[in-house]
Structure 1
Amino acid sequence: MNYCVVGTNNMTASQGFYNALFAQAGLQTVLPSERMTYWIGDDFAFATAEPFDKKPATHGNGTMVGFSVGSKEEVKKLHGLALRLGGRCEGAPHQRGPKFSAYVRDLDDNKLCFSD
């Protein structure tokens, strides 16, 4: 995959949530326009965007963005941080099959997974 984009209805709140969530990841923040923000790493690009068609952003039921974060400790840390930033728990950190993972919803109700 080249990149992933999720919708937002409040770019300022979205930037605050993801800036804090990704603060330790060493990602570069790029603002190509007023309606879109990217967080970019060597082999990673994630963005939030206000929809181009100007209709409200909605989350996809069944849609999820997964982040491989490297360790159980990092899964727990990011899950807790996302909740403190106003996200909502969709599954506490736990061993699920071969992966230790946790699930949250961001401020726009987009579903995220953190796994080791």
Structure 2
Amino acid sequence: MPGRLEGAVTYHDPCYLGRYNGETEAPRRLLDRMGVARFEMERSGRRSMCCGGGGGAPVSDIPGDTRIPDLRMGQAAATGATTVAVACPMCTAMLEGVTGERPEVRDVAELLLMAVESRQEARA
């Protein structure tokens, strides 16, 4: 179908939307309606893992070889997805801060805009 986004996507559930408020399916339905190939991470939905942005981690220097966002991005990369869809600005900041080769981080709203614009171009 023309206008579909290319590449596989995995969705990172933000803590407040998913675990605290119980909303895990609406962003997935939206991604599915965009026509993207969506793959789940090992820890997803209500069992999702934090991006590392909670508890003051972004402003503290926590010693260690591997940070929480590095672990989460590793889980995302293991799906084979080229894009990690997020729905929280803190998750965006934390996951974009992972260095090295990694999937691209995009907000669900950005992906929706890309899908709409792609469909409009396909119709023109």
User: What is the TM-score when the length of structure 2 is the normalising length?
Assistant: 0.30
Instruction: Tell me: higher relative CO, structure 1 or 2? Use CA pairs within 8 A at least 6 residues apart.
Output: 2
User: What is the TM-score when the length of structure 1 is the normalising length?
Assistant: 0.31
> Per residue, is there more helix in 1 or in 2?
2
